[in-house]
Structure 1
Amino acid sequence: MDDSRDSAHDAEAAVSNVPSASDTGDSALLAKMGYKQELRRQYSTPQVFAIAFSIMGLVPSIASTIAFSLPAGPVGMVWGWFTASIFIFIVGLAMSDLASAMPTAGGLYWWTHYFAGPKYKSPLSFLIGYSNTLGLIGGICSVDYTLALMIISCVSIARDGAWSASRGEIYAMYVALILIHGFSGSFMGRIMPKIQTFCIYINIALVIATVIALPVGKVTRGGSLNSGNYVFRHIDNETTWPTGWAFMLSWLAPIWSIGSFDSCVHMSEEAMHAAKAVPLGIMFSAGSACVLGLLVLSVMAATMNPDVSQTINTQFGQPMAQIYYDALGKEGALGFMIVLCIIQYLIGLSLIVAASRQAWAFSRDGALPFSTFFRHVSKRIQYQPVRMVCGLVIVCLVLGLLCLINNAAANALFSLFVASNYLSWGTPIFCRLVWGQDRFRPGEFYTGRYSKPIAWVAVVYLVFGVVLSMFPSGGPDPAPSDMNYTIVINGFVWIGCMIYYFIFARHWYTGPKMTVDEGQSIDSDNTVPAPVDLQQTSNDHKQE
């Protein structure tokens, strides 16, 4: 329905969207980058942190990915998490430098275009925009697929393991969850910041409950805790890879779990004092995941069955469900798994919000198919990109068909999230180092003289992470059902994107568009020193 049909409603909406003094500087900084303010700024610094922290959803994410680290035993679980999360935090620091200086919803592809050499600006920006968008879509798919498995594992626990779902039933559950997330993401925009605040408390509460209940339940039920030597020094290898490489593959668990702090970047145009809120959200979410994840995994290693293969091959179809069951019994395991399902639902909700902002920004610059249709922001529905949310739902329903094939195909959804996002994170950082040093002007947050070394470490790690995500987790010479199809899916995305660009899109995509008036005078009260040629960059790539 056209917004202009209800003038009274529009007038009320317009009044509610008038910028306050607190976000005038944010809007001015955004205008220097070429964009007018279209979304409502309503997220405080804790709420920006909350959306990334919610998507990480530590305990549910650990439950989702523990199958990647369990084959290496407790050492893979505990130290694999710790070492990888340190590198991930370094990536967060490098991203924070850019996010503070140039906060926009399409930050990753925008920064790539801004810093890259003249010949590479448009194709690289196009590639990163698509890679980041599809990576986030892969995240939505993998979260809801895992949630479907969690719900089914609850049913299996309730029936003492005597029932397991068919692939068709798993997909039906997945479809229902995607549709519910799409509806919630469209119509709950006004209360979404409060939901994110709630997510902080419920996630921390679950961490505390898990680290207390598992050891207490284990001892109360007559069991004994595994020794510190087992927790921190015991190595298993349930793969056919060498033990050292099995440990490296355990990094896939934290790589996937702590793979969402770029969501803070995508909320830049809804954040209050974005130049400060966004980098703080990135750092706090990555840092807290490192510390709290280490705590949770150490407790899990202390309470799980010392025979790792028993946990991996659980009858419940979910290793975390088996760990809860061993320590707490049927009722306790069922109670915790229900809470995990609730938080996993909130993860999917936060992720579809963040993904819709990235895809909406990319449509605003005319890069996605039907961009004119999808870039619309509904004033009637609380200034939400409703059409884009609906578009994401349709794509997720199609991609979810992979789970009808086998586990290997379903796991490709996880790898699409990892590989595509890592490419998207690393490219703008690399472009800044190689071409853009003279163009970079620090924002309110800046790592100073350590900025370049941090950025180089981040780039090297991200390249390694992309390569790591391509390996089959079980071992070399995998059967078709055990193959890692990441290279196939991401290769199709990346190569297809470039073919599409050079045949068609290069004729009309020349980078970010301007949405502010060309002659508009902008006086910013924001203390962030914007790069002097941000406005010129937007002018250079304005399209009629």
Structure 2
Amino acid sequence: MANCLNHAQWAVCGVFLTFIALAIAELASSAPTSGGLYYWTYAYSTPRWRRFLSWVVGYTNTICIIAGVCSINWGCALQITSAASIGSNLAFSPSTGQTFGVYCALVTLNAVVCSLASKVIARLQKLYITLNIILVLVIIIGMPIATPKEFKNDAQFVFGGLKNFSDWPTPYGFILSFMAPLWVVGGFDSCVHISEEASNATVAVPWAIVAATTLGSVLGWALNVTVAFCMGTDIGNILGSVTGQPMSTILFNSFGQKGTLIIWSLVIITQFMMGSSILTASSRQTWAFARDGALPFSRFFRRINSTTGTPVNCVWLSSVGAILLGLLAFAGPSAINAIFSLAVACQYVVYCIPISARFLGGKEFKRGPFHLGIFSLPVAVIAVVWMICMIVVLMFPASLAVKAASMNYSCVVLGGTLLFAVGYYHIPKVGGKYWFEGPVRNVPQVDGNVYAVDADSVKGHQEVEVK
């Protein structure tokens, strides 16, 4: 479905995304650790279920973030090939093989960046945030100035117009179009996975989660309003452009070829930076899971590089996993698009479990410096209900006339991920059920099964192999 009410989607989703961020931030403030979600699941679940649930959350989250690496870099590869199309005056149309080659190069470059020392990565993160905000402001300010009159729309079109290009009823089609804000504003646990490399993590990590979510939602809404005012009315032509990227077509109409290539270059750089950020989070989650012995060949993958102080082996493991997922592109657009949905649906599955376990597991929750007080429970309930609803929505196909080529394969990929996690746990004699004991304690225990995790206290307590 395409419509000129994208800002309404962002407004609706932004509210509920903030609820998710607040619920995760409370957990992060209480116990910021690289294991994040699967650690919290183990800490707050009942003794009967905590090992199994921790295992499922750990594997699902590991695969989920690798899917995020895949989706972001695939999007970046499409943006690069779209730039090539614009540079050739729309004469070039990339093949799947060419796009996949660009994608592999991007993942490899991201792996090189993420293998650097933590201090270097931290400085790069500040650069990423700055450039991202600058890019959004350039479009919000520059587009209304540069757009020719024939492409400018009035307030009635922007705030009242609606065009349904799907065969779903318009109200439900509108809900199905939530995918854009849900995918863009996500990865709430990304900060958590690098919390053991941060100072004052119990304060910095939760506020980073909330700030990133609210700022991303507000800027996304403002960007969509600006684009709606400057996109023209021929939505069908925008969607069917040879560039393959509707946004690049809109920019082309506003800024022309040269202006679009300059701005689109910034878009590509920003997308690449997003890829390195999510790969950093992916490698830390993979490392935390390997540190606890839950991955095959854990002794190899839990090693910390003595030069950079980072889990280089896990960086490349995540990169290889992302490249393998990218092979779905050769199965058709619907198959590779399932990775985008997987990145959202998987993370919602693994968010729901620890948030729920906090209130249903019967364990005492030790608040961190960031807490919501009496609002904790209602915020958590709203967040979980919203995520469950969105998981269901993300499984629906884009069209009612479902065929093999147009099927939404998200349910297959998500189901396969969960079946793998559950199946591996129950394999006789070698499955996790027979040896997995949950997260390994690497800092002093302070109360029951819940550990106080702080970046400074982690030093000297981590039992990891440094090579």
TM-score, normalising length from structure 1?
0.81
- Cα offset for 1:515? 3.4
Distance 1:212 1:121, change over 3 A: same
- 2:425 maps to 501
Question: Is 2:177 the partner of 1:250?
Answer: yes
- 2:408 maps to 484
Q: Any gaps of 5 or more consecutive residues in structure 1?
A: 1-70, 523-529, 537-541
- Cα offset for 1:535? 5.3
Question: Is 2:305 the partner of 1:378?
Answer: yes
Question: Is 2:374 the partner of 1:445?
Answer: no
Question: Is 2:310 the partner of 1:362?
Answer: no
Question: Is 2:223 the partner of 1:306?
Answer: no
Question: Is 2:218 the partner of 1:291?
Answer: yes
Q: Is the 8 A contact 1:440 1:531 kept in 2?
A: no
- 1:54 maps to none
Residues 374-453 of structure 1: pairs in structure 2 closer than 5 A: 374-380=301-307, 382-436=308-362, 438-453=363-378
Question: Is 2:441 the partner of 1:534?
Answer: no
Distance 1:182 1:345, change over 3 A: same
Q: Is the 8 A contact 1:112 1:427 kept in 2?
A: yes
Q: Name the SS for the 1:205 alignment partner.
A: helix
- 2:34 maps to 105
Q: Is the 8 A contact 2:80 2:268 kept in 1?
A: yes
- Cα offset for 1:330? 1.2
- 1:7 maps to none
Q: Name the SS for the 2:153 alignment partner.
A: coil
Which one-letter code corresponds to 2:55 in the other structure? F
Question: For residues 328-364 of structure 1, what are the alpha-carbon distances to aligned partners after superposition, in whole Å with 9 as ceiling and x for unaligned?
Answer: 1111111111111111111111111111111110111
Q: Any gaps of 5 or more consecutive residues in structure 2?
A: 453-462
Question: Is 2:399 the partner of 1:470?
Answer: no
Residues 269-284 of structure 1: pairs in structure 2 closer than 5 A: 269-284=196-211
Which one-letter code corresponds to 1:93 in the other structure? L
Which one-letter code corresponds to 2:259 in the other structure? G
- Cα offset for 1:531? 4.5
Q: Name the SS for the 1:175 alignment partner.
A: helix
Question: Is 2:165 the partner of 1:238?
Answer: yes
Percent of pairs with identical residues: 36
Which one-letter code corresponds to 2:450 in the other structure? L
- Cα offset for 1:315? 1.5
Question: For residues 244-282 of structure 1, what are the alpha-carbon distances to aligned partners after superposition, in whole Å with 9 as ceiling and x for unaligned?
Answer: 011101111111001122101111111110110011001
Distance in 2, Cα, partners of 1:143 & 1:369: 26
Alignment match of 1:164 (pick from 87, 93, 109) = 93
- Cα offset for 1:305? 2.2
- Cα offset for 1:307? 2.2
Q: Is the 8 A contact 1:134 1:416 kept in 2?
A: no
Question: For residues 150-172 of structure 1, what are the alpha-carbon distances to aligned partners after superposition, in whole Å with 9 as ceiling and x for unaligned?
Answer: 11011100111111111111111
Distance in 1, Cα, partners of 2:415 & 2:30: 32
- Cα offset for 1:534? 2.5
Distance in 2, Cα, partners of 1:188 & 1:216: 42
- 2:51 maps to 122
Distance in 1, Cα, partners of 2:8 & 2:138: 22
- Cα offset for 1:72? 3.8
Aligned length in residues: 450
Alignment match of 2:16 (pick from 87, 94, 98) = 87
Q: Is the 8 A contact 1:72 1:246 kept in 2?
A: no
Question: For residues 122-172 of structure 1, what are the alpha-carbon distances to aligned partners after superposition, in whole Å with 9 as ceiling and x for unaligned?
Answer: 111101001111110001011111111111011100111111111111111
Distance in 2, Cα, partners of 1:398 & 1:533: 37
Q: Is the 8 A contact 2:19 2:382 kept in 1?
A: yes
